[in-house]
């Protein structure tokens, strides 16, 4: 598939790498020659220096033969205009990054008129993800499937947990058949375990369960399940605004600490029920004076990754709060893993997941489509995908034990008209099911791809 990406910033670069890895023909456009050079020197793709909102530049990128354009510059209006130009050139699929809260609210009304296939708001997506984590403080990460009916919950295995030093198959009685262990992360490597796999203390494991069972399971494992009721947000970004709005509507006490006075005044006008503090989040005396250590949730959303990491390490020592840390720089991954931070949020990866899901649905031609997609390992080498079965195929009506499934792949769940099936070898995939697959094979776009 030929894809043009306008904007080589953090989001655009991440999307370009992910789609390039999946074998698509990528062309990137940016006004900044250094941004184009940096990206094209690290990835084998075509780069054009120029204005992506200029038809002449789009023609240079051969817009007429393009399947999809993704506009992710820093300006919402420019992104929307790029997509309008692309539609006028016959491009059927367009994606625009739209971050302004006012535009985000109004966009559904004019999306069809503008010809937008999809709009993405990384800050809003990030805020939603954080809000979910604050609802279940005992979880490191939470991904939802089947329109909220099924959840994949990542936890850290405590030293004294029942799960420590036991085989996966031995956990069935404890969980009463209501949980499937999908992945185990250990020492920077991710495993898709079979029944004989042994879980060790401090492993990170992903558990698939129905939403109705998730809270009970976390409680049974001795993890915190009550929602954070007082949250301190460090940094007053767009993500902070969206998150504070979610939390206030849920009855949570919210305090935002931001060093830019003008931004504080803007937030105070938009968030009447939040306490806005003008100050430096790295000022430990200020942190103490504001009683940050007494909060039940703390979210580090400053623009500097290093500051987010350092303040999270400090707060981990003085507070029992659920701490969530925003990190954009992928090179910090191995370092951060050794620091044992609670939960890490990467807005670029969330945006990449959303676009990858859309692209794979575009590719579908064999009766199944990608409904949901998540990267579920810290190294982004394992995906969890939800497929909808739209017509009979090579995988339907056949017991799972008789299917020649690829290695490093697990059929984790079948949703049949709301009934959640944790499949055994005798179960089958049927028409209209949705099927959750966990795999190390990148780029699956249809259910038949699970076969060797």
Q: State whether residue 356 is helix, strand or coil.
A: helix
Q: Which pLDDT score is estimated for 367?
A: 61
User: Which residues are bridge partners to 369 per DSSP?
Assistant: 388
Helix, strand and coil in the chain, % to nearest 5: 40, 25, 35
Q: How far apart are CA 5 and CA 43, in angstroms?
A: 14
- Other beta carbons within 10 angstroms of residue 385's beta carbon come to 24
Report domain 2-120's class: alpha beta
Phi and psi angles of residue 326, each rounded to the nearest 5 degrees, phi first:
-85, 125
DSSP structure class, residue 227 = P
Which candidate, 378, 401, 400, places its Cα nearest to that of 447?
Answer: 400
What element of type H or E holds 230? strand 230-234
Q: How far apart are CA 55 and CA 51, in angstroms?
A: 9
- pLDDT digits 0-9 by tens, 23-51: 899 999 999 999 999 999 999 999 999 99
CATH of 230-345 given 3.40.50.300, 2.40.50.100, 3.40.50.720, 3.40.50.620: 3.40.50.720
Strands (E), 173-250: 180-186, 189-191, 198-199, 204-210, 230-234
Domain 137-220 = CATH 3.30.70.1450: yes
What element of type H or E holds 325? strand 322-326
- pLDDT digits 0-9 by tens, 411-436: 999 999 989 999 999 999 999 999 99
Which candidate, 27, 22, 1, places its Cα nearest to that of 352?
Answer: 22
Q: How far is CA 199 from CA 91, 131, 160, 169, 348, in A?
A: 49, 29, 12, 10, 31
Q: How far apart are CA 77 and CA 68, in angstroms?
A: 19
Sequence spans of domains, the chain: 2-120, 137-220, 230-345, 362-450
- Other beta carbons within 10 angstroms of residue 115's beta carbon come to 17
Low-confidence ranges of the chain (pLDDT < 50): none
Architecture of domain 362-450: 2-Layer Sandwich (3.30)
Domains 2-120 and 230-345 belong to one CATH topology? yes
Joined together, the tokens standing for residue 88 give 């006028």
């Amino acid at each position: 598939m030929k894809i043009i990406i306008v904007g080589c910033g953090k989001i655009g670069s991440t999307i370009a790498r992910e789609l390039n890895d999946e074998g698509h023909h990528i062309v990137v456009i940016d006004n900044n020659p250094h941004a184009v050079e940096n990206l094209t020197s690290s990835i084998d793709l075509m780069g054009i220096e120029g204005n992506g909102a200029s038809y002449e530049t789009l023609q240079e990128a051969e817009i007429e033969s393009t399947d999809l354009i993704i506009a992710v510059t820093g300006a919402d209006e420019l992104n929307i205009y790029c997509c309008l130009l692309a539609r006028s050139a016959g491009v059927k699929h367009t994606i625009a990054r739209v971050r302004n809260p006012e535009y985000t609210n109004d966009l559904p009304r004019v999306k069809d008129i503008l010809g937008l296939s999809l709009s993405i708001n990384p800050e809003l997506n990030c805020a939603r993800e954080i809000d979910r984590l604050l609802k279940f403080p005992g979880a490191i990460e939470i991904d939802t499937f089947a329109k909220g009916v099924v959840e994949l919950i990542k936890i850290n295995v405590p030293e004294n947990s029942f799960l420590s030093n036991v085989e996966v198959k031995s956990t069935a009685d404890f969980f009463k058949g209501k949980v499937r262990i999908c992945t185990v992360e250990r020492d920077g490597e991710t495993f898709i375990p079979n029944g004989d796999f042994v879980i060790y203390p401090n492993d990170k494991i992903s558990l698939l369960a129905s939403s109705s069972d998730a809270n009970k399971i976390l409680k049974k494992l001795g993890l915190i399940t009550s929602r954070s009721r007082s949250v301190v947000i460090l940094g007053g970004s767009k993500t902070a605004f969206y998150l504070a709005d979610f939390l206030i509507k849920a009855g949570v006490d919210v305090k935002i600490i931001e060093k830019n006075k003008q931004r504080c005044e803007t937030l105070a006008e938009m968030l009447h029920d939040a306490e806005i503090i003008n100050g430096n989040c790295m000022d430990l005396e200020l942190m103490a004076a504001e009683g940050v250590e007494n909060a039940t949730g703390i979210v580090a959303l400053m623009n500097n990754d290093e500051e987010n990491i350092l303040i999270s390490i400090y707060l981990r020592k003085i507070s029992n709060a659920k701490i969530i840390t925003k990190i954009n720089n992928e090179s910090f991954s191995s370092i951060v893993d050794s620091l044992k931070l609670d939960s890490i949020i990467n807005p670029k990866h969330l945006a990449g997941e959303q676009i990858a899901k859309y692209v794979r649905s575009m590719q579908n031609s064999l009766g199944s489509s990608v409904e949901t997609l998540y990267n579920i390992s810290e190294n982004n080498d394992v995906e969890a995908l939800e497929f909808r079965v739209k017509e009979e195929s090579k995988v339907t009506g056949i017991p799972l034990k008789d299917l020649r499934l690829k290695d490093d792949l697990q059929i984790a769940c079948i949703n049949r008209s709301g009934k959640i099936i944790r499949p055994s070898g005798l179960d089958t995939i049927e028409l209209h099911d949705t099927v959750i697959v966990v795999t190390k094979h990148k780029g699956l776009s249809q259910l038949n791809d699970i076969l060797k």
